[in-house]
Structure 1
């Protein structure tokens, strides 16, 4: 009897946006709900899965390939919280080679040795650096390895700029069998205007927000312990937010091609919001003075 095909999801986001934090909590929530999950770290820093393993880093696929030309894929797979399977693609030595090569090598290694089928996975979640969508970093999108792509973005301009670039990449590869966009995970959303900025951006690009995740001290405390929020603070409001996000991603079935803004449209859009925020601030100052 053939094993089931896992649902493969790629989560992109610029460096420092909270992408790995979000991804690890999604993985933790899914295994907590009884699913078999692999988290596939695609950042050359190899730090995607450490909060699933008590802060412990694991050898990457490229580390193993540097030591031995032939590697048993099982050597690169480690168990984490709730039994989640953890893999890190890794990258080259600093200043040498292409950082995307680790993703290509790791994906090929696991596919060649039929690891996804052997482990009978429900979900494979790729945690991908989203500042660039070229070379190896584009593999989950370009090759259609992932069925659905989500991006983590805050209301900050550079996070939205990175998300818009990802949308351009998805649009480019969409005619060649590439993965499509499931939506935006709005991170660090603590005020109405944070939410309004992301909502307006998704409306303009014909996408959607999957979940709003607030910035929370609970997340910081958990990560200082080397844990996900799901593990360290399972009864917290933040943990419930991550569980809701995981359910929405698990239930998501229809992704689409986004409509990215061109460079001038993005600049005009952001300038309009800058003016609007100044008006809000002036209004607040007038109210405080009256």
Structure 2
């Protein structure tokens, strides 16, 4: 099960081979309230039987987008959406660590956090900020930092930087995902790379990443974020 926790509602689009699916908040507004929804209204099944939900967000400039994450996760839990799934993956906006977006961390919904970053300065800064959020709730709940995933942007010494940051955060670099234009080719056809080009080098990278995350289960750490001093 993938739960998209981004107001853009684009986490599940490629798995469903479609435009962005209707979000929990959008459908709740249409029906009157979230209590009027059925799980079937918001949960769609995509490629390889992956279940997909998008929490959504309010109109730009109105309300709190993080609220959608809280509403959605509570609705899914109460309606049995988590029964009979192998993994639940929350795709959370990383550069905004407001309380709503941190909800999977704060409410002990997520066990392990994997931070997707790159060698660009703002990505490193955002990764450190997320580590601060994890640390805040690590002692009261069971959440841990699973590791970093570097999405290559072809900056200088990117692999070295990613490994150095991981070490500073008391974590490890789980995988370095090389940049490849086949990702854009797949996106244009509304597909993931694994569906569009299953035998490509890039598809093999994503499979390797998935296997590493699976093997890393239960090995997360409490992060040691860098201070600004």
- TM-score range (shorter-chain normalised) is over 0.9
* Structure 2 residues not aligned, in runs of 5+: none
Counterpart pick for 1:55 among 11, 18, 21: 18
Question: Conserved in 2, the CA contact under 8 Å of 1:151 and 1:185?
Answer: yes
Q: Tell me how far 1:50 sits from its aligned partner.
A: 0.6
Say yes or no: does 1:89 pair with 2:55. Answer: yes
User: Where does structure 1 differ by over 3 angstroms across 4 or more consecutive aligned residues?
Assistant: 189-192
Tell me how far apart the structure 2 counterparts of residues 153 and 159 of structure 1 sit (CA, whole Å): 5
Question: Conserved in 1, the CA contact under 8 Å of 2:108 and 2:142?
Answer: yes
Instruction: Report the counterpart of residue 25 of structure 1 in structure 2.
Output: none
Q: TM-score, length-normalised on structure 1?
A: 0.75
Q: Tell me how far 1:190 sits from its aligned partner.
A: 4.7
Question: Conserved in 1, the CA contact under 8 Å of 2:2 and 2:91?
Answer: yes
Question: Conserved in 2, the CA contact under 8 Å of 1:143 and 1:178?
Answer: no
Tell me how far apart the structure 1 counterparts of residues 166 and 79 of structure 2 sit (CA, whole Å): 39
Instruction: Report the counterpart of residue 5 of structure 1 in structure 2.
Output: none
Instruction: Report the counterpart of residue 225 of structure 2 in structure 1.
Output: 260
Tell me how far apart the structure 1 counterparts of residues 10 and 104 of structure 2 sit (CA, whole Å): 18
Listed one character per residue, the Cα deviations across residues 52-98 of structure 1 (whole Å, up to 9, x for unaligned) are: 12232210000111012221122100111111111000001111000
* Structure 1 residues not aligned, in runs of 5+: 1-37, 265-290
Tell me how far apart the structure 2 counterparts of residues 214 and 55 of structure 1 sit (CA, whole Å): 26
Aligned residues: 225
Secondary structure of 2:59 counterpart: coil
**Which structure: larger Rg?**
1
Say yes or no: does 1:66 pair with 2:8. Answer: no
Secondary structure of 1:145 counterpart: coil
Question: Conserved in 2, the CA contact under 8 Å of 1:189 and 1:213?
Answer: no
Q: Tell me how far 1:178 sits from its aligned partner.
A: 4.8
Listed one character per residue, the Cα deviations across residues 133-189 of structure 1 (whole Å, up to 9, x for unaligned) are: 222100111111011100001010100100000000111111211511000001116
Tell me how far apart the structure 2 counterparts of residues 225 and 216 of structure 1 sit (CA, whole Å): 16
Listed one character per residue, the Cα deviations across residues 6-64 of structure 1 (whole Å, up to 9, x for unaligned) are: xxxxxxxxxxxxxxxxxxxxxxxxxxxxxxxx111000111111111223221000011
Q: Which has the higher contact order (CA 8 A, sep 6+)?
A: 1
Instruction: Report 1:134-173 matches (<5 A).
Output: 134-173=98-137
Question: Conserved in 2, the CA contact under 8 Å of 1:141 and 1:178?
Answer: no
Tell me how far apart the structure 2 counterparts of residues 55 and 160 of structure 1 sit (CA, whole Å): 32
Counterpart pick for 1:243 among 183, 197, 207: 207
Q: Cα RMSD between the aligned structures?
A: 1.3
Say yes or no: does 1:200 pair with 2:164. Answer: yes
Secondary structure of 2:100 counterpart: helix
